[in-house]
Structure 1
Amino acid sequence: MAADVLQRDLGVTADGLAALTGAFPAAFALAMLPVGVALDRYGVKPTALALLAIAAVGSALGAVAMGPWSMLVAQIVLGIGCSGMLMCPVTYAAKTLPPQRFGLWGGVIQAFGNTGMLLSASPLALLVDHAGWRAGYVACALLAIGAAVAVFAVVRETSAPLQARRGVLDDARDVVGLLLSSAIRGPVVIAFASFAAVLGVRGLWGGPWLMEVKGLARVPAGNVLLFCTAALIAGPALAGVLERRFQRHRAALMVAGHLGAALAIILIVAGGLLGWGVAADAVLLTVFGLLISSQVICFALVRAAMPPERVGRALSAMNISFFGGAAVMQAISGVAAAASGIGAALLVFAAGLILVSLAFPRLPGPR
């Protein structure tokens, strides 16, 4: 929603901004290694509090960034701080709920987390128009502090068991081993393009597409993106219900959802060439949000393949793929945008979704 003013104030091009913001998921992915170890070794609550403090610092750095290098530092710190914001509640649920209930609650957790995207649609557009993009980072710092206070006051957790027989490096090697293992290879591969598409379509290129290609002002573009956001809120909960209802076919549901999301992206770009109205974009963005939400089934597949004492490391290993893929694909989309426009950048994510979806049935791992 602030891509144009960020480019102007930071002195970067569209592909430069894509590279800068790509540092966030890259740092996020790298942080998954120590986060996975910390979740199993020290527990959810202390890990969450430490990461929220780092996120608040990263937001403050973003608010005072004066150029591309200072914004790069801010994105890296933010990526580290936010790296546990999904994994902490998901790991908590995985450790305390039976496997047959985890899929549903994994969807509920992601749906609730995605409500934050509501703030980055019309509300962020209004804030940028009235107070500038730096105010958005200040608001994020305040939200991180508020979340830390809530975690401290509300979360109740028994002490994590001591792991005297294993060192921290052993745990870290276990995360890497799980990432490369055949035990969860299928979910890890499909995760590579899955969240990348969410960040690419809803986070980075959706606003520029609506403003630059469709000619909308900032706030109307934010209003259109609210449809996608609403779908990303309802979708994970719906996917969790379907996963629980059709457990024998959950992998097929996930693959079909990702292929459908790719088709929605292709139709959005085709509509730009054919002159379709903004209403078509709103519908297709909604469809995309609902279908890509089948990604929550990845968490259920990994949980089913792992014992409780390793689930934090296993989920973190998959999250390395989620956000590492986002970093790689976001950088590629920036190159595509510089060469052929925003439509080409969007098609990068459609291609990625198709490739991993077609590969999934041929890979080992839980089903």
Structure 2
Amino acid sequence: MAADVLQRDLGVTADGLAALTGAFPAAFALAMLPVGVALDRYGVKPTALALLAIAAVGSLFGAVATGPWSMLLAQVVLGIGCSGMLMCPVTYAAKNLPPQKFGLWGGVIQAFGNTGMLLSASPLALLVEASGWRAGYVACALLAVGAATAVFVLVREARAPVQARRSVAEDARDVIRLGLSRDIRGPVVIAFASFAAVLGVRGLWGGPWLMEVKHLARVPAGNILLMCTLALIAGPAIAGILERRFQAHRRALLVGGHLGAALMVALMVAGGSLGWPVMADAVLLVAFGLMISLQVICFALVRAAVPPERVGRALSAMNVSFFGGAAVLQAASGAAAAWGGVGAALLVFAAALVICSLAFLRLPGPR
């Protein structure tokens, strides 16, 4: 929503901005190792409070950034701080719910989390128009403080058991071993493209596509992305219900959702060349949001593969792929945009979804 003014004020190109914002998921992925260890060793509440404090600081760094290097620092600190935003509640649910209920509640958690993206559609467009992009970062800092306050007041958990015989380094190595293990290798592979597509299509390139290719003003483009965001809110809850009802077919659901999401992106890019009306983009973006939301089944597959005492590390291992893939593919999309425009950038994510889905089908893993 603010790509054009960010490029102007920071003095970067479109692919340069993609590289800068790609530092966020890269830092996020690297932070997954210590976050996974902390969740199992120290518990959800202290881990969440520490990370939210870091996120608030990163947001303030973004608000005062004056060039590429200061914005890079802000993105790295934000990535570290935000690395527990999904993992903390998902791990809390995994440790306190039986496996047969986890898929549903994993979807509910992600659906509730995705409501935050409502703010980055029309509301952010209006805020940027009225007060500039820096106000968006200040608002994020305030949201982080509010979330930390809610965690401090509301979250209750038993003290994490002391693990005296294992070092932090051993726990970190266990995260890596889990990510490479036969048990969760399949979900790790498909996760590489899964969240990258959400960040790339809805987060980075959706606004430029609607404003530069479809020639919409900022606020109307935000309204279209708002529709996609609503689908990303409803989609995980629906996916959780489907996962619980059709557990025997959840691998097929996961692959079908990702291939369908890839098709929606490809059709949107094709429609840009064919002159389709902007309402077609709205429909395709909504369909994309609903289909890609089946990614929550990845969490259920991982939860089913490991015992409760290792679930924080196992989920973190998969999240390394979730956000590491986002960093890699976001950088690749920036290069594609420099070569072939916004449409080429979007097709990077469609291609990755197809490749990772087909690879997932060939790998063993939890069912």
Letter of the 1:357 counterpart: S
Mapped pair 1:134 → 2:121: no
Greater Cα shift, 178-187 or 323-332: 178-187
2:183 corresponding residue in structure 1: 183
Cα distance per residue 1:66-119 (max 9 Å; x no partner): 000000000000000000000000000000000000000000000000000000
In the alignment, does 2:214 pair up with 1:231?
no
| Equivalent position of 2:286 in the other structure | 286
How far the C-alpha of 1:345 sits from its partner, in A, is 0.2
Q: CA deviation at 1:364?
A: 1.8
Alpha-carbon separation, structure 1, partners of 2:360 and 2:37: 27
Q: Which stretches in structure 2 are left out of the alignment for 5+ residues?
A: none
Q: Does 1:243 align with 2:227?
A: no
Name the residue aligned to 1:335: 335
Question: How far, CA to CA, are the matches of 1:71 and 1:361 in structure 2?
Answer: 39
Distance in 2, matches of 1:234 and 1:254, equals 16
1:273 is matched with 273
Match of 1:124 in 2: 124
In 2, Cα distance between equivalents of 1:333 and 1:89: 30
Aligned match of 1:48: 48
Q: Which runs of 5+ in 1 are unaligned?
A: none
Equivalent in the alignment of 2:221 = 221
Match of 2:204 in 1: 204
Deviation string for 1:104-162 (max 9, x for gaps)?
00000000000000000000000000000000000000000000000000000110001
* Alpha-carbon shift at residue 271 of structure 1 (Å): 0.5
Distance 1:26 1:164 in 2: 31
Measured in 2, the distance between the counterparts of 1:251 and 1:226 equals 29
Query: What's the offset of the Cα at 1:361?
Result: 1.3
Q: CA shift at 1:179, angstroms?
A: 1.1
Aligned to 2:11: 11
How far, CA to CA, are the matches of 1:319 and 1:361 in structure 2?
20
* Counterparts of 1:30 and 1:170, CA distance in 2: 16
* Residue 298 (structure 1) aligns with: 298
Distance (Å, rounded) in 2 between the aligned partners of 1:364 and 1:55: 37
Question: Quick check: 1:103 aligned with 2:99?
Answer: no
Distance 1:198 1:5 in 2: 22
CA distance in 1, matches of 2:76, 2:364: 33
Q: Structure 1 runs of 4+ off > 6 angstroms? A: none
Counterpart of 2:349 in structure 1 is 349
Mapped partners of 2:68, 2:188: distance in 1 = 32
Cα separation, 1, equivalents of 2:99 and 2:252:
19
Q: Output the CA distance in 2 between the equivalents of 1:361 and 1:18.
A: 30
Using the aligned pairs only, state the percent identity. Answer: 84
Superposition CA RMSD, Å: 0.4
State the AA in 1 paired with 2:96.
T
Residue number in structure 1 paired with 2:317: 317
Q: Distance in 2 between matches of 1:33 and 1:284?
A: 36
- For 1:134 and 1:361, locate their aligned partners in 2 and report how far apart those are by CA, in whole Å: 44
Quote the residue 2:326 is aligned against. 326
Partners in 1 of 2:225 and 2:361 — Cα distance?
Answer: 32
Counterpart of 2:88, as a letter, is: C
1:322: Cα distance to partner?
Answer: 0.1
Residue matched to 1:168: 168
Q: Distance in 2 between matches of 1:191 and 1:267?
A: 22
Q: Give the distance between the partners of 1:258 and 1:274, measured in 2 at CA.
A: 24
Match of 1:148 in 2: 148
Distance 2:295 2:72 in 1: 28
Task: Give the drift of 1:213.
Answer: 0.3
Deviation at 1:167, TM superposition (A): 1.0
User: Partner amino acid for 1:250?
Assistant: R
Task: Classify the secondary structure of the residue corresponding to 2:286.
Answer: helix
Which SS does the other structure have where 1:365 is aligned?
coil
Distance 1:241 1:276 in 2: 34
The match for 1:62 is: 62
Paired with 1:42 and 1:297, the residues of 2 have a C-alpha distance of 27
Counterpart position of 2:264: 264
The superposition leaves residues 280-337 of structure 1 with CA deviations (integer Å, 9 ceiling, x where unpaired) of 0000000000000000000000000000000000000000000000000000000000
Q: Which residue of 2 aligns with 1:2?
A: 2
Please report how far the alpha carbon of residue 164 of structure 1 lies from its aligned counterpart in structure 2 after TM superposition: 1.1
How far apart in 1 are the matches of 2:316 and 2:360?
20
- Distance in 1, matches of 2:224 and 2:264, equals 15
Question: In structure 1, what residue type is equivalent to 2:51?
Answer: L
Q: Which amino acid aligns with 2:217?
A: A
